Amino acid sequence: MIYELDAVGVRYPSRRGEPASLTAVSFGVAAGERVAVIGPSGAGKTTLFRLLNGTLRTSSGVLRFHGRDAASLSPREARAMRRRIGTIHQQSLLVPSLTVLDNTLCGALGGWSLVRSLRAAIAPARADVERAMAALERVGLADKRDARADELSGGQQQRVAIARLVMQDPEVILADEPFAALDPALSEAIAALLLGLVEAGRTLVCTLHDVELALGLFPRVIALRAGRVAFDAPSAAVSPGALDELYRGAPAPSPVPPPPGPREPIPAC
């Protein structure tokens, strides 16, 4: 098993208002599986993802990755775990002032020493550039290598994020609403790219608000409601009644405003 969650709970005061939490979440994910996570907004999908990619710690229960308790890992081992898990976010979250090539190279940071990454910041090794270019070719953005990330459209940025993922070469891919910010045509292209990556035997866990898409693309669906698992079933067995129950009375998603950029300091003399 890749993941085993045993009565996992998370409780933390969220900086963005309502407390986000998970209660007694238990399930397992086997290698090579494709799983969709659905549920109304505020159900704890993003919290679950932060647990799965090792950037948030459990408050109770046990999360095992490849049989090892994630809470027992040393910082170095935790980093090694993160390196094996690739995450795609709703917005691409590239570093805006870096070029497309640099953003792609960032995927390899987990495997680099500090010296090597400092060198890459000034002049990356040819082999690394070639790998990054291969990743960019795969998403069809090789010609944009020297553009700044913030010059790209939303769909292009999402493709760069996927190139960064290819560069990282993880065994598990976590995709958090990868299509939410895209129009349908783009969604299809990105979905094709993601599913293409998974064919190499990787595991894919994906949150989706579009239930049709979830049932169509993924053999297994885990539904969250108010921080608990509502159901965990093969897509074919999910009934319309269960879905109605899941989304009843759910609040509409509210967009999170982006934080302000750095301030221009006032002269000191």
Partner 1 sequence: MSRSPRAELRRAGIAALAIAALIAAAIAAEVRPSRLLDPEGHAAVRALLRGLLPIDRTPEFLRVVASATVRTVAIAVAGTALSLVVAVPLAILGTATLFRRGPLVESEPRTPSRIALSAASVAASAALGVLRSVPDLVWALLFVVGLGLGPVPGVLALAVGYGGMLGRVLADLFETVDPRPLEALRTTGATRLQILVFGIWPQALPSAVAYMLYSFECCVRAAVVLGLVGAGGIGYEIALSMRMFEYGQIAALVAALLALVWLTDAASTALRRLLRANVPAGALGHQRLGLGIPGAPRGALAAVVIAMMVASAAAVGLFDGGALELATLSRMAGFVRRFAPPELSPGYLRTLLAPIAQTVGISVIGTLLGVAIGAALGVPAAAPYAEDDRARRAAWLARHALRRLCRTALSLMRAIPEVIWVLGFILAVGLGPFAGALALGVHTGGVLGKLYADALEEVSPLPLRGLRATGASPRQILVWGAWPEARRMLVSYTVLRWEMNLRASTVVGIAGGGGIGMALYNDVQLGFYPRVATLILVIDVLVMATGWIGDAILRRLESASLATRRR
Q: Closest separation between CB of residue 156 and partner 1, Å? A: 13
Pick from 31, 118, 125, 237 the residue near partner 1 by CB under 8 A. Answer: 118
Q: Which is nearer to partner 1, 74 or 200 (CB)?
A: 74
Neighbours of 95 (CB within 10 A): 12
Hey, which residues between 31 and 60 contact partner 1 (CB under 8 A)?
50, 53-57
Neighbours of 91 (CB within 10 A): 15
Binding mask 126-165 for partner 1 (x = CB under 8 A): --------------------xxx-xx---------x--x-
Region near partner 1 per CB under 8 A, out of 61-69, 136-144, 240-248, 254-262: 254-262
Nearest one of 106, 85, 84, 86 to 96, comparing CA atoms: 106
Report the alpha-carbon distance of residue 26 to residue 250 in Å, rounded.
23
Total residues at the site for partner 1 (CB under 8 A)?
Answer: 63
- Which tokens is 1 given? 């098993």
Please report whether residue 62 would count as binding partner 1 according to CB under 8 A.
Answer: no
Pick from 23, 41, 59, 91 the residue near partner 1 by CB under 8 A. Answer: 91
Q: How far is CA 41 from CA 3, 177, 184, 201, 207, in A?
A: 23, 11, 21, 30, 11
Binding mask 171-200 for partner 1 (x = CB under 8 A): ------------------------------
60-65, strands of its sheet edge to edge: 20-29, 3-12, 60-65, 68-69
Please report whether residue 263 would count as binding partner 1 according to CB under 8 A.
Answer: yes
Pick from 60, 69, 111, 253 the residue near partner 1 by CB under 8 A. Answer: 111
3-state helix, strand, coil in the chain (%, to 5): 40, 25, 35
- Please provide the size of the chain in residues: 269
Q: Closest separation between CB of residue 240 and partner 1, Å? A: 35
Q: Which is nearer to partner 1, 190 or 238 (CB)?
A: 190
Pick from 24, 62, 109, 181 the residue near partner 1 by CB under 8 A. Answer: 109
What are φ and ψ of residue 257, in 5° steps?
Answer: -70, 145
Q: How far is CA 118 from CA 122, 123, 138, 146, 197, in A?
A: 7, 9, 26, 19, 29
Please report whether residue 112 would count as binding partner 1 according to CB under 8 A.
Answer: yes
Return residues touching partner 1 (CB under 8 A): 50, 53-57, 71, 73-75, 78-87, 89, 91, 93-99, 102, 106-112, 114, 117-118, 121-123, 146-148, 150-151, 161, 164, 168, 258-269
